[in-house]
Chain A
Amino acid sequence: GQQLNQSPQSMFIQEGEDVSMNCTSSSIFNTWLWYKQDPGEGPVLLIALYKAGELTSNGRLTAQFGITRKDSFLNISASIPSDVGIYFCAGHNQGGKLIFGQGTELSVKP
């Protein structure tokens, strides 16, 4: 089935560092969503992107909808310990089905 390739799979960074992760697909997506999941909890929606080229910020988070509509990235600036968790990208394909990436596990060392 259709897949989203999310990278990296895991990251270990120092508090204060910036973080970047991305998702790519061989197919066009109509929207991109970024979620964060804390251990034992459900994913929480961070940012939603609706148009190619769109750049959206939410506090220290910035995400962009790639111009080809086949990719998206999420940046976190000046990371803090509570940024720890798993980040998922998701996108609506041409048929409206929501597809998820495999997740990026972020660890932040104080």
Chain B
Amino acid sequence: KAGVTQTPRYLIKTRGQQVTLSCSPISGHRSVSWYQQTPGQGLQFLFEYFSETQRNKGNFPGRFSGRQFSNSRSEMNVSTLELGDSALYLCASRWGSYGNTEAFFGQGTRLTVV
């Protein structure tokens, strides 16, 4: 069965622009979480969606938003890009939102803001 698919793999944007990243979870998984990873900062939780509803949210500004579609695919949007938004953005899917379900990651989207 196919793993978590993130597109695009690499992206270069200019300050002030906006960007949309996509994540297709493992078939049957209904929860998608997004993380930002920068050198030395580990995995910073952005938000989690389950059945098209945002279940949890991290401490990021409102420029970061997301949504989930009825087929569980999720998109993350960052508006008014800043240089500090350059990072590896990872999504993880799991079967459920609550309980002890394992999370599986995609390969990530490397965003560079210039």
Interface of A toward B, CB cutoff 8 Å: 1, 30-31, 33, 35, 40-45, 48, 50, 88, 90, 92, 95-98, 100-103
Interface SS of B by simple majority: strand
From residue 90 to 104 of chain B, which have CB atoms closer than 8 A to chain A?
Answer: 90, 92, 94, 97-100, 102-104
Q: Are A101 and B42 in contact (CB under 8 A)?
A: yes
B11 contacts the other chain (CB 8 A):
no
Q: Are A50 and B105 in contact (CB under 8 A)?
A: no
- How many residues does chain B have at the interface if contact means C-beta atoms less than 8 Å apart? 25
* A48 CB contacts on chain B under 8 angstroms: 102
Interface SS of A by simple majority: loop
Q: Are A98 and B103 in contact (CB under 8 A)?
A: yes
B110 contacts the other chain (CB 8 A):
yes
Interface string of B70-114 (1 = CB under 8 A from A): 000000000000000000101010100111101111111010000
